[in-house]
């Protein structure tokens, strides 16, 4: 079981990995992000987290310390004109992109968000939150029904617009007290099947 500080450090590392395409933070960055002044203390806690099986060492040194579920990153691939194939020796922690502490998963039903790349049948990973900023994609509860939409405050915050990303669907506008935010979209997971 993780201590409260170990959990904060693990959450920081996971968030850092997601924001930096799988690159691990330094001990100093971990300390700064978690409010720990001593690099030695951070080292001790990271070692404890590793001993408990929540982190794996990859490559040399602390900079490449990554969580489990790492896959080799081989570079870029063109989805338009072909580009030169140059293999990269990095790795990406796929688990850190998908397995996020304190989040929950929902399966999308419907096509109201297809123009921003969220399709019927996709899994979405959502971080619980009761507040949102304009432009964030949220899980919103309206009249005991949940929906996935872009969030926008209008009329000085008196009303909320839940914006669809499909020209076939209209945005929905509600009084601000009629909308309850359940969480913020973090990741979309899609599996490809050729059948």
- Selecting among 48, 57, 112, 167, the annotated active-site residue is 112
Select which of 76, 127, 133, 149 is catalytic.
Answer: 149
* Active-site residue flag, 57: no
Q: Give the C-alpha separation, 179 to 166, whole Å.
A: 21
Give which of 104, 144, 110 is closest to 124, Cα–Cα.
104
How far is Cα 96 from Cα 25, in angstroms, rounded to an integer? Answer: 13
What are the distances in angstroms from CA 139 to CA 120, 126, 153?
Answer: 15, 8, 15
Query: In the numeric block, which tokens belong to residue 130?
Result: 């009761």
- β 145-154/137-142 pair status: antiparallel
149 is catalytic: yes
Q: How far apart are CA 138 and CA 118, in angstroms?
A: 12
CA distance 130 to 151: 12
Please give the positions annotated as active site. 112, 149
């Amino acid at each position: 079981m993780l201590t409260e500080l170990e959990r904060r450090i693990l959450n920081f590392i996971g968030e850092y990995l997601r924001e930096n395409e799988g690159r691990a933070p330094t001990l100093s960055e971990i300390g700064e992000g978690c409010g720990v002044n001593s690099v030695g203390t951070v080292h001790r806690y990271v070692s404890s987290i590793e001993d408990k099986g929540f982190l794996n060492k990859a490559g040399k040194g602390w900079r490449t310390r990554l969580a489990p579920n790492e896959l080799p990153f081989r570079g870029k691939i063109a989805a338009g004109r072909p580009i030169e194939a140059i293999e990269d020796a990095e790795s990406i922690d796929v688990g850190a992109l998908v397995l996020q502490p304190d989040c929950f998963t929902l399966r999308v039903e419907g096509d109201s968000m297809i123009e921003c790349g969220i399709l019927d049948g996709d899994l979405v990973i959502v971080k619980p939150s009761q507040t949102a900023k304009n432009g964030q994609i949220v899980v919103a509860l309206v009249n005991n029904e949940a929906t996935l939409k872009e969030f926008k405050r209008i009329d000085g915050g008196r009303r909320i617009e839940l914006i669809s990303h499909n020209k076939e669907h209209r945005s929905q506008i509600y009084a601000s007290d009629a909308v309850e935010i359940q969480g913020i979209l973090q990741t979309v997971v899609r599996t490809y099947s050729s059948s």
